[in-house]
Structure 1
């Protein structure tokens, strides 16, 4: 007599198994080195730079330790911007945000995560291509889309890995960007509050800042931005 094979049964996924499956991959600290920082306006501060093994995208991201970090430190995730951070471009607010963040974190104690995500993750050359389209009338998000690229390609898994390696599981997040808060929360880092940076407006970046407020709900006070001539 032929026997009917027993139907395969699938065990329901337990909450514990699901958390393991979706856990952020572990990174470890590679090197810690002291570096004195000095900015063009004369501000200086002692910092410690931390590098990592095992970051999921293979990027050379840095944690900058400033002041004396507490249990819930002040943290900024700052995406690399060669034009703004190094050359002082007035087309964005990246350089002034970096300068502001270093001083505020040094006073409060915490970490600046310097993430190699040039151009919101699309790279330097693509960013400059997008600038050319912005000069023709598109805003910062429309220009990326016109190039066939994401409006914002950044993924903050590496930031969560870095924080975990540093022993941090909750932060005060120094950012105007609600997506950074949402992504960290999804990566099991508690954001106790999101602390806005200043509105670093110039005559050259008004359209850029306004697009960030209107399109991605950045917490920049638009009245302050529009008051710049």
Structure 2
């Protein structure tokens, strides 16, 4: 896998002072947002892009809450957020909005993806190992509820899963129930 890597830059944020690098994989540009001094076994959050949640504050998911929690947690405990450009479980923004429309008609998140010809989750995580190896990281504490993320990490030992549980609201309760009941998320 050929990856271009940016220079390191400072990223002061409302969650703390971080460092940031971009990793360009084909047509996708991912980010590593990390604390100055990474520990021997850092806490890592693998977060897939969610424009509607992360930037606009959609209540249909818990993405923004998880991202903000992870940035705050990592600022306090040391570690890294790997921000993957895989919008809508990697079906893209246009298809994600079409899936939202199907959800408005009563389909759950998985059924909506299937109606559009996609699997429940199209994301991949090969680039994560490359990013972690760039930082000479071989063991992590993974901040996740998704067992597929744990299974998909290769050549890096996940020594601990750190839960990231967000409170449901009336708009995302069914979404979270589907992730738990049908996708096996540890909620």
| Normalised-by-shorter TM-score class | over 0.9
Q: Shift in Å at residue 150 of structure 1?
A: 1.8
1:75 aligned residue: 44
TM, length-normalised to structure 1: 0.78
Match of 2:8 in 1: 32
Quick check: which has more Rg, 1 or 2? 1
TM-score, normalised via structure 2 length: 0.95
- After TM superposition, give the deviation of residue 66 of structure 1 in Å: 2.4
Q: Which ranges in structure 1 are unaligned for 5 or more consecutive residues?
A: 1-24, 39-43, 221-229
**Aligned with 1:126 (options 95, 114, 119):** 95
Residues matched between the structures, number = 187
Question: Cα offset for 1:29?
Answer: 3.8
Distance 1:200 1:66 in 2: 26
Task: Tell me what 1:101 maps to.
Answer: 70
Q: Could you say what the CA RMSD is over the residues aligned between the two structures, in angstroms?
A: 1.4
Match of 1:150 among 119, 137, 143: 119
Distance change >3 Å, CA 86–CA 95, structure 1 → 2 = same
Runs of 5+ in structure 2 lacking a partner? none
> What does 1:107-118 align with in structure 2 at a 5 Å threshold?
107-118=76-87
Q: Say if 1:74 and 1:174, in contact at 8 Å, map to a contact too.
A: yes
Q: Is the 8 A contact 2:65 2:166 kept in 1?
A: no
Secondary structure, counterpart of 2:166 in structure 1: coil
The structure 1 segments of at least 4 consecutive aligned residues displaced by more than 3 Å after TM superposition are 25-29
